[in-house]
Structure 1
Amino acid sequence: MSLARSLIDVRPLRTSPVFRRLLIGRTVSVLGGFMTMVTVMYQVWDMTRSTAWTGAVGLAQALPLVVFGLFAGAWADRADRRRVFLAATVGQAVCSLLLAVQGFTGHVPVAAVLLLVAVQSAFGALGAPAAGVFVPRLLPKEQVAAGLALQQVTGQSMMLLGPALAGLLLGWFGIGVCYLLDALSFGLAFYGARGLPALPPQGEPSRAGVHGVLDGLRFLAGHRVVRGALVTDLAATVLSFPVSLFPLVNAERFGGDPRTLGLFLSALAVGGVAATALSGPLTRLARPGPVMLCASATWGAALILFGLAGSPWLGLALLALAGAADATAVVSRSTIVQTRTPDALLGRVTAAEQIVGQAGPSLGNVRGGLLAGWTSGTTALLSGGLLCVLAVAAVATTTPELRDRVSGTPDEA
């Protein structure tokens, strides 16, 4: 196999100028988002010196997505997705501008900062389901997986760069400048999406309100392939997400060295970037179901071995493997969702996928923390990884459709 075919498939960048502009705007906006995430945590800690308040930042970011996500998906399935996304982007930019204003002026209650974060997250919950239709509508079916891989690798690269850049800018210029740069990044995202064609739903538009949400849930309950993809993701995150265990495992097995702890999260991200950068063969394979199942099982197995590792360097290598498996599973899952869901339902199903992606790791961190408190960090890692592997095997056994070639024409609702 040639090196070019081993690297990430860049055909979407060559064949679709609209996708190329969209990806550039999205990448810069994701960078700004990670900078704001760090800046908010820094500001709230500086204002309160309270871990309860810094924990509330995550709640302010997650709750709007969980509460409004499905309703936002139903709205996106009733309207021109381009206009919905542009409106959501403007709303997010305004929130960043208001955060910048309070950052420059100071003397704003911490509750007001969290309220702005929550409102911005609500606009994000509205824009995400609309953006979920962009790739399958802009690219030919055989390039959808490659387009999703390009989004994944750029997003994870910004996850590595954003926090470090925010730390530098906070030290040089303060919080106001970081928020202002995030607002400007939304301007580039707006420019990238402005060139999109009109993207109304193809097929019968969503019914209004709760009825539309229930229609989306009925599709998820009845579609074995899409449901299996989301259940697999929940199994991997709820049963075995390891981040809350890192400080305890570092203390138990690696002497509590803070340098080791800091590298744990970086290792996950580096593995994800490397795997996506070398995803060409897998995205061209057009078998996202088997790839997702194998990658999810590899995630669980890598965490089991990480729990047994006695060397920090071996532990970091296993976390990089876990990160690579996770990134591969995410691209494959999104390919299944976006190629097997009818366009008229894609906003709602994308919203459900976003909720799963947000809630699963949070619940997994709670599960791991509670079990580690009763037993040990190593036990929590080993049991979680084993449960993940068993759950993925159960999904593969009970959903044989996932083992087949599932990239193709969307199914009828």
Structure 2
Amino acid sequence: MYQAARTSVDTSKSSTEDSAGDSDSAGDRTDDAAAQRNEASASASAGSPRHGWRRWAMDTRPLRRPAYRRLWSSTVVTAVGSQLTAVAVPKQIYDITGSSAWVGYASLAGFLPLVVFALWGGAIADSVDRRKLLLVTNTGIAVTSLLFWIQAVAGLDSVLVLMVLLALQQAFFGLNSPARNASIARLVPADELPAANALGSTVMQTGLVAGPLLAGALIPVIGLAELYLIDALALCLTVWAVYRLPALPPLATAAAGRAGMREIVAGFRYIALHKVLLLSFLADIVAMVLGMPRALFPQLAAQTYAPYGEGLALGLLFAAIPIGAVAGGLMSGTFSRVRRHGLMVIAAVVAWGVAITCFGLSANLWVAVAFLAAAGVADMVSMVFRGAILLSAVTDEMRGRMQGVFTVVVAGGPRLADVLHGTAGSAFGARTAVVGGGLLVIVAALALAAATPVLRRHEGTGG
């Protein structure tokens, strides 16, 4: 993804081929492709400098592209809906067993299918029409949500059934995510990739805040089962939005139809040969594994911030990072046009470490929440530029596989952090573990920057 950066000629070629493929689809998608070509011809005006408050506000240029707008709007719908299921599953398991351990076991049951199918899904996304893959996988996720609803209404009260359905859902998600993320570079020009990533990440982080709050409000009113049904209905809207996308076949005909172990191994070989890819993944691992303290939030709420009210403290601690990420996304105009993508990743990881360290040193709840929110802003900046590197600096035939690895890193890092911080918190105390983790992030990120100039010197296409 990284070293073989696409030129503007490649981008226009990609858009032309997508539009050509669209001519075989429904008429409304043909009209959208024509609108995209007209908008692309006016790229100079789209990239004109913004003045006043617009310089700081979210960069919404990608939403002028009809195809990207449809993909993004489907994310808006499902960002909240998916969180309803994410709350309902552990709640139902706890209601059945009365054990938090079973909730943890269920999380692990979904993790292995996610890893396996994300890696395989990345290879598939490089070998088939990505629009068709999105249709199949989004339909699969919707059917799984419907099955969640059926088992809840039927009153099965079976943890085994819930774990099987969770594993199936995560398998479909693993197949879906690489194709969805890899498609973005075919729908917007290279100079708008950071803005497109900021738009998508902001929506997902908003879902992390609004979804659990909505679930908590709805469960006493309509019951737990209906949360699954709402998610399934929302996913139907996603399927319709994906149906109206242009065709996204492989650009390299040699890669079409091949998605086996050989292709997966080729993806890892590609990462090894392109240091900027490997280093961007490593930067995220450093930040998340060493510096994500969420496993310590219950202990901090019960001990350090107990005078403020344990429930209030716990809710604020869990909400603070997503809220900060949303704020960062809303202000993405301040950074989404920067060319030094690698340097921005390093700076964001260091800023994350500083914010987490200060959080660990804070005895006042509101100060602690402010530092966690600052960490959320840094995380948003890191996500935007790591995503831009993954999309812009790699050839299209490898893009799906890189997104598959990205999905595994993003999903696996926080889980490893939970184990590491939980163990350290029990041994040394929660605040000591948080501060130590934050300091390790700073040291590791600066060492990475000093030892690997290829990352800090990496540039994308400016806006």
Question: Normalising by structure 2, what TM-score?
Answer: 0.85
1:277 pairs, out of 330, 354, 359, with 330
Q: Does 1:71 align with 2:71?
A: no
Is the 1:104–1:175 Cα contact (8 Å) retained in structure 2? Answer: no
Distance 1:319 1:108 in 2: 37
- Distance in 2 separating the partners of 1:7 and 1:20: 18
Aligned to 1:147: 196
The letter for the 1-side match of 2:161 is: A
Q: How does 1:53-132 map to 2 (within 5 A)?
A: 53-132=102-181
Which of residues 32, 49, 54 in structure 2 aligns to 1:4? Answer: 54
CA-CA distance at 1:108 after TM superposition: 4.2
- The CA deviation string for residues 155-208 of structure 1, in whole angstroms up to 9 with x for no partner, is 111111111111222211112211111111111111111111221222241744
**1:47-101: per-residue Cα shift (whole Å, max 9, x none)?**
1111121112322332211122211211111111111111001111111111111
Q: Which residue matches 1:25?
A: 74
The code of the aligned residue for 2:272 comes to A
Retained in 1: the 8 A contact 2:58–2:330? yes
Cα separation, 1, equivalents of 2:436 and 2:293? 11
2:109 & 2:227 partners in 1: Cα distance? 19
Q: Deviations over 1:245-301 (max 9, x none)?
A: 122233443236311122011111111100111011211113221111111101111
Q: Which has the larger radius of gyration?
A: 2
2:99 to 50, 53, 56: 50
Separation of aligned partners in 2, 1:53 and 1:250: 22
Q: Contact 1:242–1:381 at 8 Å: present in 2 too?
A: yes
Match runs of 1:109-258 below 5 Å? 109-203=158-252, 204-205=254-255, 207-255=258-306, 257-258=309-310
User: Is the partner of 2:304 in helix, strand or coil?
Assistant: helix
Partners of 2:430 and 2:259 in 1: CA distance: 47
Give the residue type in structure 1 aligned to 2:77. Answer: V
Deviates more, 1:305-314 or 1:146-155: 305-314
Task: State the Cα distance separating 1:320 from its structure 2 match.
Answer: 0.7
Mapped to 2, the partners of 1:68 and 1:25 lie a distance apart of: 22
TM-score by length of structure 1 reads 0.95
Aligned length, in residue pairs = 408
Provide the C-alpha distance between the structure 2 equivalents of 1:2 and 1:227, rounded to a whole number of angstroms: 38
Confirm or deny that 1:302 pairs with 2:352.
no
Question: Are the equivalent residues in 1 in contact too, given 2:70–2:245 (CA < 8 A)?
Answer: no
Aligned mates of 2:216, 2:174 — CA distance in 1 = 27
Pair 1:366 & 2:419 matched: yes
Deviation at 1:408, TM superposition (A): 4.5
> Equivalent residue for 1:347?
400
Q: What fraction of aligned residue pairs are identical, expressed as a percent?
A: 37
Asked whether the equivalents of residues 78 and 234 of structure 2 are also in contact (C-alpha less than 8 Å), the reply is yes
Distance (whole Å) between structure 1 residues aligned to residue 458 and residue 239 of structure 2: 36
Distance 1:396 1:191 in 2: 44
Determine helix, strand or coil for the equivalent of 1:185: helix
Secondary structure of residue in 2 paired with 1:202: coil
Tell whether the 8 Å contact from 1:252 to 1:377 is kept in structure 2 after alignment: no
Separation in 2, partners of 1:175, 1:254 = 30
Mapped contact 1:235–1:391 kept (Cα < 8 A): yes
Stretches of structure 1 that go unaligned for 5 or more consecutive residues are none
Note the C-alpha offset of 1:216.
0.1
Q: Which runs of 5+ in 2 are unaligned?
A: 1-50
RMSD after superposition: 1.5
Q: Is the 8 A contact 1:339 1:407 kept in 2?
A: yes
